[in-house]
Amino acid sequence: MQPVFFISHGGGPWPWIQQWEQSYSKLRTSLHNIPSLLEFQPKVILMISAHWITRGGLGIMNNPRPPMLYDYYGFPPYTYSIHYNAPGHPQFAKTLNSHLKSYGFETSFDSERGLDHGAFVPLAVAFPEAQIPVVQLSIEASFDPNYHLALGEALKPLRGEGVLIIGSGLTFHNMHLFNPEGSQPSEEFDAWLQDSLIGKTYEQRKQSLINWEMAPSARVCHPLEDHLIPLMVAVGAAGSDEAQLNYYEQSAMGGVTVSGYKFG
């Protein structure tokens, strides 16, 4: 059975920004190491990115050749011609659609939307050959923890069919505090998060995440919880599988504490 990951996708097109190479070295290493942590090559990668949000149901990409979506702003012109040429997998998208409907989720196909930077940026580091098919699944705009934990639970059986499930977001996402002012709140929230996930049963993790707003500095770290929601999907898909830090940094992106996790 494939493990499940919750990863940080970093800021914008960071792997292609030369002057950021040193500051992103720890994140790059953590992503680069993902293939070595798998027992076998995935048949398909299912990406749940913080940057695809749908309302009233879930979107499933089913384009056999997913286009690119450059959903970042103010970067050098060449970063808007980056290509990550992994194929899609329409047959898996069809299977995923039927599977989620059987669990009561409303779904729809999207054949036009491209891979967003929450998907193609980390994948370009982890799987640069771009040979493994990629399908993106959206998160739902209510950001309901119960809904997204249940979504992860529904996805869990797919792990036994060679599907690699990756939630892509950030454990800290306050655009005004990617600086030393964000240091203490991010450290407090990250300590709570590690304590909530590592060495805990699924029910314990679930209750912590349902009540995440009660965590220290929760709303300072996540004024909008879009970048936390993919973690909830990953936790649901992981069940009680062992959680371990796959990435940890105390001075990321201007001075904040961030982390990433491997389950199973």
Q: Which neighbouring-strand residues pair with 5?
A: 166, 262
User: In Å, what is the CA distance from 59 to each residue of 11, 22, 110?
Assistant: 24, 36, 6
The DSSP letter of residue 52 is: E
Q: Where are the beta strands (DSSP E) in 210-255?
A: 243-252
Question: What pLDDT score does 177 carry?
Answer: 85
Q: What is the pTM for the complete model shown? A: 0.96
Rounded CA gap, 246 and 28, in Å?
12
SS3 264: coil
Strands 243-252 and 107-110: unpaired
- In this predicted structure, the answer to whether residue 251 has a pLDDT above a threshold of 90 is no
Rounded CA gap, 141 and 51, in Å?
11
Residue 253 — pLDDT band, cuts 50, 70, 90? Answer: confident
Rounded CA gap, 207 and 203, in Å?
6
Count of CB atoms within 10 A of residue 189's CB? 27
Question: What pLDDT score does 252 carry?
Answer: 85
The DSSP letter of residue 107 is: E
Q: Which neighbouring-strand residues pair with 247?
A: 260
Q: Domain 4-263, CATH 3.30.460.40 — does that match?
A: no
Question: What pLDDT score does 125 carry?
Answer: 98
Tens of pLDDT, residue by residue over 192-201, are 999 999 999 9
Rounded CA gap, 146 and 168, in Å?
18
